[in-house]
């Protein structure tokens, strides 16, 4: 018994339809959350506890990297902004897991770098965004 004998014409149409819908649904996030628009400018916000301690225009990092330090309860974080991306270059030695350092680069709205032991959070905001908020 071959597969041609089991499937009808409508079964084949249904399979093709499901595959096409699946591909379309996979590509929708790339359309909406792809590259930033031309007139959009990203701004890095650095918050410690409930206090916003620094804002940096990410566009300024294309000429040369911006590297600065943030002092916290357990030590100093070194933050790097380079080519439109942001990362924690070095976490304090007292940070046991260094998750904020292992998070790597962020280059768009949405992802957040958080260091819980130092109560530090970094995220990018757009000056021209239609998104009110995101949930994970």
CATH architecture of 42-126: Sandwich (2.60)
Rounded to two decimals, what is the model's pTM? 0.66
First to last CA, the chain: 47
DSSP states along 53-115: EEEEEGGGGTTS-EEEEEEETTEEEEEEEETTEEEEEE--TT-SS-HHHHT--B-SSS-EEEE
Residue 131 pLDDT level (bands cut at 50, 70, 90): low
The whole-angstrom separation of Cα 76 and Cα 46 is 14
The reported pLDDT for the residue numbered 136 is 57
Residue 35 pLDDT level (bands cut at 50, 70, 90): low
The reported pLDDT for the residue numbered 29 is 78
Residue from 63, 64, 42 nearest 122 by CA: 42
The reported pLDDT for the residue numbered 46 is 94
The whole-angstrom separation of Cα 80 and Cα 65 is 7
Per-residue pLDDT reduced to its tens digit, 88-112:
999 998 888 889 889 999 988 888 9
Q: Which residues contact 114 (CB under 8 A, 6 or more apart)?
A: 99, 100, 120, 121, 122
The whole-angstrom separation of Cα 43 and Cα 57 is 5
Residue 84 pLDDT level (bands cut at 50, 70, 90): confident
Higher pLDDT, 1 or 9: 9
């Amino acid at each position: 018994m071959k597969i041609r004998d089991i499937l009808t014409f409508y079964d084949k149409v249904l399979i093709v339809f499901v595959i096409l819908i699946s591909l379309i649904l996979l590509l929708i996030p790339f359309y909406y959350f792809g590259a930033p628009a031309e007139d959009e400018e990203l701004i890095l916000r650095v918050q410690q506890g409930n206090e916003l301690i620094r804002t940096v225009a990410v566009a300024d990092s294309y000429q040369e990297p911006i590297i600065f330090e943030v002092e916290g309860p357990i030590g100093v974080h070194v933050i790097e902004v380079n080519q439109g991306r942001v990362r924690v270059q070095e976490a304090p030695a007292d940070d046991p897991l260094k998750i904020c350092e292992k998070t790597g680069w962020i280059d768009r709205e949405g992802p957040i770098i958080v260091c819980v032991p130092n109560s530090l959070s970094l995220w990018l905001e757009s000056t021209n965004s239609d998104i009110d908020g995101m949930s994970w």
